[in-house]
Amino acid sequence: ETLSQIVRWSPVHQTFVIPNAPWNIIDYPKYKHRGLLLDTSRHYYDVQDLHKVIDTMSWNKMNVFHWHFLDATSFPYASKAYPQLANKGAYSPVHQYTNDDIRNLVQYAKERGVRVIPELEAPGHSTSWAYGIPEIVSCVNKVPYAGFTVQPPSGQLNIANSKTKEVVNTIIDELSELFPDSWFHASGDEVIMNCWTNDTQIVSYLAERNMTIMELFRSFVIDMQNHIRSRHKTVMVWQEMLLEYNFTLPTDTIVQIWIGSSGVKAATQKGYKTVVSSSDYWYLDTGYGKPRSNPYSNVPGAGYNHWNRVYSYDIRANLTEDEANLIQGGEVCMWSELADRTNFEGKIWPRAAAAGERLWSGYETPTGETIASDDAILRLLPWRELMVLRGTMASPLNQGFCTRNPLDCFQVEHIQTA
């Protein structure tokens, strides 16, 4: 990709050329984790859609596809052990991912230098499990939604039911075989205690054992994560596990930051490796308005993250050197309340490319000069055009005149050529 990005078509010579040759290319990534999260539960994307995502990621030197494929709204994973979960929890029989689909996608991504990390959404956002196995989910479709969930439909795994642990561990075993990557995302975000404290089975369970709901929650989480580790996986979680619930996590846990950029400092101060996805910079779904069914979103600063804002985000800001060294990289996130296969590419690209450049190149040149965000437009304009030529429907960054005459439209202090 590094070489291909300096190749240009010459209309004069009617061939491809490498301008300003010879080149001495020194190119390597600043961060090892350069990712994109895609939510395929709220809206289903077929495997060919995911292939296009993987292709475009590889062009942008992004190497981690974080697959958020289960959520409250649908259960599209076709489990071998529990086929009723997808048969009743997917949007339809054709809106499922079979084992062959997953294996083929993982192999397709591997051939393009992209890892695929599965996320098992638990114990929150779990309504879709209830359609196949009702007894393992609490507060299903309770109203008003605001008291039981951040976003309808309500439903969390019943953490007092032994059947729940059995099902979760079996799903972990299946996914560990299908996804060979060494990381496994155990989720843990947006859990609402009111869901459990209004479940009579859980209330009785706690009373019989003289336990608090937080003690039971912690026990469930630790058991789940230990089972993932027994499959020789590194556990990744959302930041609430560490910073809101204040669980003591093993030091090898990867903490993904999303609730604003301040969480990066809080997690690294505690000595945890982090992946940065701060919603106020790197969420790609915000700024399109909230769907009527989701008036309770706690995403801060839910405005549109323009490409320049995405690019300007310094994930090391306000960190000591030791804290900054704990950052493994970052992910941009495409949640799919208001996205599906008809519009997702234009929402992701080219803004994800802006984050991809930061995660690959960092913030300084090899000679120590600051890479100015204003100058990035000179690279992103032609790069967007090339992505479109390659078949990705990336959104325009400005009017066509500026693409053809960028120096007439933008004042830049430094022109970065690579």
295 band by pLDDT with thresholds 50, 70 and 90: very low
Express each pLDDT in 59-83 by its tens digit: 999 999 999 999 999 999 999 999 9
pLDDT at 320: 97
pLDDT at 52: 98
Residues annotated as catalytic are 190
pLDDT at 260: 84
pLDDT at 374: 80
What is the share, in percent, of the chain residues with pLDDT greater than 90?
80
- Please compute the mean of the pLDDT values over residues 338-342 and round it to a whole number: 95
pLDDT at 221: 97
pLDDT at 192: 95
Q: Is the pLDDT score of 394 beyond 90?
A: yes
Q: Is the pLDDT score of 92 beyond 80?
A: yes
Q: Are 347 and 325 a contacting pair, CB within 8 Å?
A: no
pLDDT at 302: 65
Q: Is the pLDDT score of 300 beyond 50?
A: no
Comparing 292 with 240, which gets the higher pLDDT? 240
pLDDT at 11: 77
- Please compute the mean of the pLDDT values over residues 321-333 and round it to a whole number: 98
Express each pLDDT in 79-90 by its tens digit: 999 999 999 999
- Please compute the mean of the pLDDT values over residues 140-159 and round it to a whole number: 92
298 band by pLDDT with thresholds 50, 70 and 90: very low
143 band by pLDDT with thresholds 50, 70 and 90: confident
pLDDT at 290: 62
Distances (CA, A) of 342 to 71, 161, 345: 21, 40, 8
pLDDT at 204: 98
Q: Is the pLDDT score of 293 beyond 70?
A: no
Across the chain, what does the average pLDDT equal? 93
pLDDT at 296: 46
112-126, 133-147, 297-311: the lowest-pLDDT one: 297-311
Q: Is the pLDDT score of 132 beyond 60?
A: yes
- Please compute the mean of the pLDDT values over residues 137-160 and round it to a whole number: 93
Q: Is the pLDDT score of 110 beyond 50?
A: yes
pLDDT at 180: 98
**pTM for the predicted model, two decimal places:** 0.94
Q: Is the pLDDT score of 309 beyond 70?
A: yes
19 band by pLDDT with thresholds 50, 70 and 90: confident
- Please compute the mean of the pLDDT values over residues 240-252 and round it to a whole number: 95
CA dist., res. 54 & res. 390, Å (int): 13
What is the share, in percent, of the chain residues with pLDDT greater than 70?
95
- Residue from 246, 204, 203, 252 nearest 221 by CA: 246
Going along the chain from its start, the domains and CATH numbers come out as 31-363 (3.20.20.80)
pLDDT at 412: 64
Express each pLDDT in 182-210 by its tens digit: 999 999 999 999 999 999 999 999 999 99
- Please compute the mean of the pLDDT values over residues 296-324 and round it to a whole number: 84
